[in-house]
Structures are given as C-alpha cells and as structure tokens.
Structure 1
C-alpha cells in the first residue's frame, strides 16, 4: 500500500511539473523538447585541428557534456520533463557542431560533476561553473560567459543604478545567507561605514517566493541573486527591473567556463571553437535568445586568472 501511494505521489508530482512548464514557455522562452529555435553553428576546422590526436571522447562521434540542471534560463527540463534545455545546452550544442560532433547531455547532481569528469564519464562540464584558482589545480577551463550578480528592484522603485558600494548605501537588500553575493555585500557595507555612509541592511528569507513578496510589498528595496535567475524572474513576473550587474567575484573578475580534465588538451580546442562562435555572431544569438546579452564576453580564454582562494 505504501509503495502504491509513493508511486501515485511521484506520478502526480511529475504531472504537476509538466503542466507548469508550458506557462514558463509563454514568458518568452522556448522550453519545448524540440527546440526549433535553437541557434546552430558550422564546423570550425581550426578547432577540430586543435583536438589532440590522442584525445578519446567518452563516446566516439559525440561531445558528451555534464549539466547540473538548476533552472531557466541556464539549464532546465523541457516540457517533456526529460530534455535539458536553456542557454548552456544551446552553447554546448554549438560547440559540438563546431567540432563536427553530436551533442550528448548527461544531467548530473552538482556535487557529482568533478568525479565524473576526472573518471572520463564525460568530456566536459557546461553548467555555469566559475573559474577559481582552486578549481584550476584540478581542471582546465575555456571561458564563455561573464559570471554576474544582478541588482533588481520593483518597476516603480526610485533606485536607478547600482554599480559601487555608495550606490547601495542605506538600502534594504535581499540576499541569500552564505552566498558569494552576501560576502560581497558585507564588504560593500563595511566600505560604506569607513566612508561615513550608511551601511547596507541585509535581509534573509527562506525561499524565493518570500523574497519576491518582500520586495513587492516594500519591505526591501533591492534583491541580489545570480543575474540569469533574476532575468528569468523579470520576464516571468514582469514586475522587477535590473539596475546593476556586478562581477560574481567582485572586485576580481569572475568568468564562467567549460570545464575539462586537467592536461587533456581539449581546452584549447574549445577556446578556439568559442572564439569562432563569437566572431561569426552565433555566440551573441545564443545569449540573446535567453536574455543574457549583458553577460557576453569579448573573447574566450584558456585558464585565465580565477577567483582567489578565500
């Protein structure tokens, strides 16, 4: 009886998720499994030639990519509750086509990607992974997007722009406890104190829904989260707007990159492929499709400086 009940609950949850997804698609994003609007790329002979002769793909003829499915617009499940779609899958598809390969995406838990990549279960990880000096000790990176935190406010807010600590002096700011955003905002608050300005008033809530209610009700002035998340919410709810984009590693640079095995030799080919996509406009079209043009990079780099160890 208990087994039947568990199966029934699981089935209802799956149905509910599937019914909810089409509503998301109506807010400017194509979340269908077919992805008819996906941007495609052409073969890049230079990138293909840069693949080491001794490199063996996890599955011959395929570019096997791990993705920790987090949510739109980066990576989420389509309306069939199986296919992974979003800006990261679109970008992975374009890289695969540049290399003359077929894309194979493997959904994974975030904690599992390092071991799976090291063991050769997949060729790369494309899942909003930021470059850090600690990660560079074990993996290689090919950058493809800026890592950014967004400052968003209500549509009727008097706040126009936030780009440095003084712009946020005295504001009530919603942030997640223990996040990189919190670390940055605490430093901003301290800088404001030293400058004789009001500190930031940080607010913490248990879930996203409560955060958004607090913002709309006027209990808070600003919400700070990863930029991509807030872009999606703004398109879905149509009641918040962006007033700032901050490097995820402020004051240091923080880029998002494809992750590959250390010393495998594949990173250089992926960097060349990305720069090819940037040069011919394919890259910009992918980011535009998912509302992420503000996180565009001018060029891809292999193993650039990453966030320092804290």
Structure 2
C-alpha cells in the first residue's frame, strides 16, 4: 500500500525531517549549547594538512551540514543556530585542526555540487560511504550507519534480527531508501523459504507514519537510528526491537566528505582518531544518544556500499 511515495534519494539516509526545534528529553536544542564538548589542538592532525591545501576561508574550517532533524542537525530554539551531533562533531574537528568552525546550512541534496565547486571544505551531514561516491569524493569515517526497527510500546513484536522475524509484518519505510532495498530482499528471502512476505508501507511524512504505527495500521517503522532515538525520547510511546546495518549484511559507515584528491581526508582521519583516543568522541556521541554508532577507529576511504543496478 502506498499513501504517497517519499521522494528520497537512495542511500541518503535522511527521512521524515523534524521541521521544528522541539527539545525531547535528554536533548539540548538551545543555541548556547553549554554542554558542548571541546578539545585541544591535535598537532599531528594539523601538520597532516597538505601545505598546498587552500581552505575556503583562511583560518576557518568551512563545513556544510543539512539541518534535517534532531539529534543529527537541526535549527536551535532561536530558529537560526544549527545544533546537533554533526555540528558538534564538526566543531571538535575544527578545534583539533586549530581552526575556527564556519557552518554552512545546506539542503542535503545540494552538498555534492557545493563541495565539488569549492563552496566548503567538507561535508559533515550523515553521508554514507558508497563506491559510487568514492569516485568523486574522499571519506574519513566517524560513525556506523545504523537503522532501527521500532514498534509501539505495547506491540507483541519483541525482536527483529533477521528476515524471518519480519515475515508477514507491515513495515513503514521510506521509498527509494537503502532500508527499503534491504527489506525488499528480506521479503524475497522469506517467500523463497515458504514464509509470508513483508508488507512495505509508505507515508508522506513523519506524522502520518507515526499515526499509522500508533493506530495499528502498521506493525513496525524502520528509519535511521538517530531519528528514531529522538522520536522515542520525545513521544515516549515507541520502543526499539531491532537493528539493521545500512550495509546489510555488512557494516556501512558514515563519513566526513571532502573533494577527491584534495589531501584533506587523511588529516581529518587523524583528527577523528585523536578524538577517539582522548574520549571527546565518545562524549559527543553519548551527549546526543548516538553512542551505539561509535566506531573503534576512523578510516580513510574504506570499502563502501556497492553500486546497485
């Protein structure tokens, strides 16, 4: 059943944006950000910046971020300041490099052209590593790409770990997303095994999706982990029953994105590993309730999701 397909780019991992800066329990969406995690300059990372690399603005690290919704990135309660896990991580990277952060809010779909044309030095906005993107950009990983299965609090569904657990369930998913591609494969596997197919449902926005879940018209919703963590804290009427890697059956990572061959990626990888080693990385993720997405180590241009026909 389709109630209006969502026009979301494949692998974008951005669905159902929250359009207002409403603080959910445990999240600080104030423009002042008194709890922001800070760090000191990492000399090793700073010296890894190529001598001939020209920043968009001298002395500044100019980063594009798409304020699509908390806890990753959203407008603060002043409706002007962009806050969230990605802006805070960008701030820590800038401090590691000894630079001032300059955030540039962009529409998610616009970042590739803006980065390629030199409007900003990097993109830190939940960009997944794919083999197709690696042809044009370099990557420094900083989080795992995870999706979650959530159900209403009193649902009889208690665990979804593999395709058979989802057999016969009505699952809300974004059209054109990576999670849709994976669930189509899961459903095909179930049918081949003599089990019921998965019924995928599509809705125009977050409110319609959550209403369908609460009213019993759907059994499960699957979205990027970060978005559902915020919704669960805000609404207190849904619970997590499973995890789905964006690269199922393999791991898939989210990364800082830079221009191909610019030489900046290695320095950003060093900076991220410095944040991991000194504990700032873990504190940032914990502050935004994303600690389950932590990586043990940052990598430059790791294997990405394959090209799909």
TM-score normalized by the length of structure 1: 0.90
**Partner of residue 233 from structure 2, selected from 227, 232, 235:** 235
Residue segments in structure 1 that go unaligned for 5+ positions in a row = 1-16
Instruction: Using the TM superposition, give the Cα deviation of residue 27 of structure 1 relative to its aligned residue in structure 2, in angstroms.
Output: 2.4
Match in the other structure for 2:110: 112
- Tell me how far 1:168 sits from its aligned partner: 1.1
How far did residue 26 of structure 1 move?
5.0
User: Where does residue 246 of structure 1 map in the other structure?
Assistant: 244
Moved over 3 A (4+): none
Q: Is the 8 A contact 1:168 1:200 kept in 2?
A: yes
The verdict on how the C-alpha distance between 1:115 and 1:205 changes in structure 2, with shifts beyond 3 A counting, is closer
Q: Deviations over 1:150-170 (max 9, x none)?
A: 100111122222121111112
The answer (yes or no) to whether the contact 2:37–2:88 under 8 Å persists in 1 is: yes
Matched position secondary structure for 2:275 = helix
Among 272, 276, 279, which residue is 1:278 paired with?
276
What residue in structure 1 maps to residue 143 of structure 2? 145
The answer to which of 113-122 and 102-111 deviates more is 113-122
After TM superposition, give the deviation of residue 119 of structure 1 in Å.
Answer: 2.1
Is 1:130 paired with 2:128? yes
Structure 1 partner of 2:73: 75
Which runs of 5 or more structure 2 residues have no equivalent in the other structure?
1-17
**Structure in which a larger fraction of residues adopt helix:** 1
Quick check: 2:24–2:230 contact (8 Å CA) kept in 1? Answer: no
The partner residue of 1:196 within 194, 197, 219 is 194
RMSD: 1.5
* Deviates further, 90-99 or 26-35: 26-35
CA distance in 2 between partners of 1:135 and 1:247 (Å): 19
Tell me if the contact between 1:253 and 1:306 (Cα under 8 Å) persists in the aligned partners: no
Conserved? CA contact 1:151–1:225, under 8 Å: yes
- After superposition, residues 213-228 of structure 1 pair within 5 angstroms as 213-228=211-226
Larger relative contact order (CA 8 Å, sep ≥ 6): 2
- Number of aligned residue pairs: 291
User: For residue 8 of structure 1, what is the aligned residue in structure 2?
Assistant: none
Distance 2:168 2:72 in 1: 32
Q: Which residue of 2 aligns with 1:4?
A: none
Whole-Å Cα distance in 2 between the matches of residues 182 and 121 of structure 1? 32
Aligned partner of 1:184 in structure 2 is 182
C-alpha separation in 2, matches of 1:307 and 1:208: 26
TM-score, structure 2 normalization: 0.91
Q: Which has the larger radius of gyration?
A: 1
Over residues 36-81 of structure 1, what are the superposed CA-to-partner deviations in whole Å (9 max), with x where a residue is unaligned? Answer: 1101112111111111111111111111101122111100001111
Q: Which residue of 2 aligns with 1:3?
A: none
Instruction: Indicate the residue corresponding to 1:65 in structure 2.
Output: 63
CA-to-partner distance for each residue in 1:237-285, whole Å, 9 max, x for gaps?
0111111121112223321100011111110010011011111111111
C-alpha deviations, 1:102-141, integer Å up to 9, x for none?
Answer: 1110011223222221222211000111111111011100
Question: What is the CA–CA distance in structure 1 between the aligned matches of 2:230 and 2:144, rounded to whole Å?
Answer: 17
